[in-house]
Structure 1
Amino acid sequence: MPLTIDACAAQHQGDRKEQQDRVAILPHPRRRGVALAVVADGMGGHTGGALAAEQVIHTAKNNLERFSPDEESPRCLLENSMSEAHTMIKASRYMNEKDPHSTAVMLLLQPDKATWGYCGDSRLYHFRGGQLQYRTVDHSYVEHLIAIGRITPEQALTHPNRNVLLTSLGGQESPLFDFSESTDLVAGDSFLLCSDGLWAYFEDEELAALIDGNTARMACEMLIDIARKRAAGGGDNLSLAIVKLIEVAPVAKSVPPPGFTPRPRG
């Protein structure tokens, strides 16, 4: 059964003075059923973070326009997009005398599979029928402590260094990327890409239920509204993109009424 996409991207400035997140859902200009979703969370002082996040979107868009699924692998597209954005952001620090950085999470959707890559703590969630299938593991200090058994996931939520990243785009050291994919897409699959300004306020199960039970647009509106209330005046920038796979209903064939006999032409 063919699938169609229900998608929406949204963001809110939160309680910050500036919106330094960027989000986009970009259709391939020539290939039907191919699209790229991107969320970037910029850091680096006034305007610096916004410029870094904007560079992530710009680079991803340019690479998508040149992407040929027959000649280039999905991972190559994602890795090149993040690597090139890293180089451009790093170069901009010398021109603008700022310290710009950005996270990045990207999802490349094709008719037969979904491939994703990320750097930093902006996340991707893959849900199926309201159940979590996969979630990216943040490149953060607290996730490292969890991995080596120093703290629990619950302790990470209030750890004083919970916002410290181990890697990002634009830093002095080469960034760390991770990739994964799903090749068995079915109706009921959904993907959420979001910055920490959103995921910090939700359990995985709550995200799954809200996205499964609503359209992409309604889910975006509800998630932002809930996050804003829970932030209680201290919320970060938040950005998200939701992509849902929906079964296309078959077109009903017209049936002639009983006793109808078509008249011959001529």
Structure 2
Amino acid sequence: MSQYKIEAGTGQHIGDRQEQQDRAALLTSARAPGYLMAIVADGMGGMSGGALAAEQVIRTAKQAFDLFSPQTDDIATLLRDIAHEAHTVIKLTAISSEKKPHSTMVVLLLTPGRSAYWAHVGDSRLYRFKGPNCADRTIDHSYVEKLVQEGRLSRDEAKEHRLSNVLVSALGSHEQEPEVAVRRYDGLADGDAFLLCTDGLWHYLEDAEFGAALAMNTPRQASEMLITKARERAAGTAADNCTLAIVKLVATETEKTYNVGRMRRAI
């Protein structure tokens, strides 16, 4: 990205589950130099089923991004296609494996033109930060979020609601096609950062805590801090898998230039 350095990283913890069913990836494409994709998927569907679904999301994203051309293809269409293609394959997997795999998805694509596009299905989230301040986040496709939007439930009540894990849109559902929400933000600047994560992380931390961790640390350091804090707060609650990806924009140092006049004055 021109005039910027991108720092990125991923982190995971199995939580108190027997299997890690989340997946995360940072991807580049030879046909789209300067573009970066980050993606997180939270698989569901019993032993191995959820892992298969989440893995399919990552595999579909990589294949689609490898074929993407900035000169001829539309980014929003690319993100929607990833969701719908993964949805179709996960449904086929259910038939062949006799399981009921499902997955959420949140994907971010940064361009060399200082733009960010993101899409999500389900309750895996993307947060956008300007410095330590949360400027935007995705709205979950969940039953309790629907109640919050209707004014029937507060956000604090939603977090502890007994149906907080019920989704109204997911990849692999045989009942309906997924709702794919796509957003765009232009004018990325030094200090901007993105956090993509599953509910095994965001359930235990506040927006301000995320912002402070990202602003003051490298992606690796922030990942370790956030997962450690989530695990501390989840003690004794049979916590879910915890997965995240962090992308930060950092200004590059201005290269020093010298000329004969400056050299003479220095001498």
Q: TM-score, normalised by structure 1?
A: 0.95
The aligned counterpart of 2:164 is: 162
Deviations 1:72-99 (A, max 9, x none): 1111110001100000000111100000
Look up the SS of the partner of 2:264 in the other structure. coil
Residue type at the aligned position of 1:5 = I
Please, which of 132, 136, 139 is the counterpart of residue 137 of structure 1? 139
1:259 deviation in Å?
7.5
Q: Using the TM superposition, give the Cα deviation of residue 260 of structure 1 relative to its aligned residue in structure 2, in angstroms.
A: 9.5
Q: Which amino acid aligns with 2:171?
A: L
2:79 and 2:118 in contact (8 A); partners too: yes
CA contact (8 A) 2:32 2:68 kept: no
Residue 200 of structure 1: CA displacement?
Answer: 0.4
Instruction: Flag the 1:223–1:260 CA change in 2: closer, same or farther, 3 A.
Output: closer
Match of 1:223 among 218, 223, 226: 226
Q: Counterpart in 2 of 1:171?
A: 173
Note the alpha carbon deviations across 1:45-70, whole angstroms, 9 max, x for none.
Answer: 11000000000000000000000111
Instruction: Say if 1:99 and 1:189 are closer, same or farther in 2 by CA, change over 3 A.
Output: same
CA offset digits 1:160-198 (Å, max 9, x no partner) = 111100010000111111010111101110000000000
CA distance in 1, matches of 2:184, 2:231: 31
- What residue number does 2:191 align with? 188
**Matching residue's letter, 1:184:** G
Cα 1:213–1:90 change in 2 (3 A) is same
The residue identity in structure 2 corresponding to 1:198 is L
Matched, 1:122 2:124: yes
Percent identity between matched residues is 48
Instruction: Within 5 Å, give how 1:1-266 maps onto structure 2.
Output: 2-112=3-113, 113-172=115-174, 173-233=176-236, 234-254=238-258, 257-258=263-264
3-state SS in 2 of match to 1:245: strand
Stretch of structure 1 that moved more, 250-259 or 158-167 = 250-259
* Structure 2 residue matching 1:6: 3-state secondary structure: strand
**Structure 2 letter corresponding to 1:240:** L
Deviation of 1:213 (Å)? 0.8
CA offsets per residue over residues 192-213 of structure 1, 9 Å max, x none? 0000000001111111111111
Determine which structure has more spread, i.e. the larger CA radius of gyration: 1
**C-alpha separation in 2, matches of 1:29 and 1:95:** 33
Distance in structure 2 (CA, Å) of the matches to 1:260 and 1:42: 62
Q: Which amino acid letter does the alignment assign opposite residue 208 of structure 1?
A: G
User: What is the CA distance between 1:4 and its match in structure 2?
Assistant: 1.2
Q: Helix, strand or coil: the match of 1:94?
A: helix
Deviates most, 95-104 or 175-184: 175-184
Q: Distance in 1 between matches of 2:56 and 2:152?
A: 36
* 1:129 Cα deviation from its structure 2 partner: 1.2
Structure 1 residues 159, 66: CA separation in 2 closer, same or farther (over 3 Å shift)? same
Q: Tell me, which stretches of 5 or more residues in structure 1 are unaligned?
A: 262-266
TM-score in terms of structure 2 length: 0.95
| One-letter code aligned to 1:227 | A
5+ residue gaps in structure 2? Answer: none
Displacement, 1:154? Answer: 1.0
